[in-house]
Amino acid sequence: MRLTPELIARVHRTITDPGPIPGIPHYGDADYAGVVEELMSQAPEGEPLRVFAYGSLVWNPEYSVNRIAHGTVYGWHRAFCMRLERFRGSQDQPGLMMGLERGGSCRGIVQEITSTDPRETLDALVRRELITKPCTYSARWLPVRAPGGTVMAVSFTIDRRGRFYEGGLSLEAVAHRLADAVGHLGTNAEYLMNTVRHLEKHGIRDKNICALEKLVAARILSR
């Protein structure tokens, strides 16, 4: 059983963006500037800016990509373990966002970025991904095994000290959340479907998120 736009339409409803969650500290300009400077200070000299995409950046990068290649990171794996109370979830029905959790490995896409100003690109990227403090995402350089050898790429890993970390859930519990959650950017189920479909287009199959897709589709269909 697979997710389809028709199934997802059963869950979708129009929601107005509630804005930043009251009472929770959010990143500001100085915070973003600090993250960008740290990344730039660690950037491999003479190399193009690369991003390791494993989720929504595969299908919605919001920057120009010069070329792509398959890549694998070791010591990290995909997991839905960050609570979403905005975007594709709400405070009443929180969803879950995917991140790189410790352990295992993850196949994804190495994106070489077309950019004359890496700082500007990184600034836009971290503003998209890092929102609240303490942040559940951490921007870092990771070694990625690619066809031509190991390259360094920026990616986003899970910080378990983050405010919205919610790890250790069973596949059934994750599927329950993904099937029900909706935010102003759409449904959590659509996020899952887009990720699975676009990874498959690149010949990448992740057994855990494929299993989640079946569980989420079955839950929606059973309503």
Is 190 part of the annotated catalytic residue set?
no
**Is the pLDDT confidence value at 40 over 90?**
yes
The Cα–Cα gap between 189 and 102 comes to: 24
- Mean pLDDT computed over 128-155: 97
Q: Could you tell me the residue ranges of all domains in the chain? A: 19-168+197-204
Identify the DSSP state of 44: P
- Please write the tens of the pLDDT for every residue from 156-189: 999 999 999 999 999 999 999 999 999 999 999 9
Q: Could you give the maximum distance between any two Cα atoms of the chain, in Å? A: 55
Q: Which CATH number fits domain 19-168+197-204: 3.20.20.140, 3.10.490.10, 3.40.50.300, 3.30.70.3270?
A: 3.10.490.10
Place of tokens 């193009």: 48
Predicted TM-score (pTM) of the model is: 0.95
- Cα 40–chain centre separation: 21
**Is the pLDDT confidence value at 114 over 90?**
no
Query: Which residue among 101, 129, 166, 213 is the active-site one?
Result: 129
CB 73 within 8 A of CB 100: yes
- Report percent pLDDT > 90 for the chain: 97
**Is the pLDDT confidence value at 223 over 90?**
no
- Mean pLDDT computed over 94-110: 98
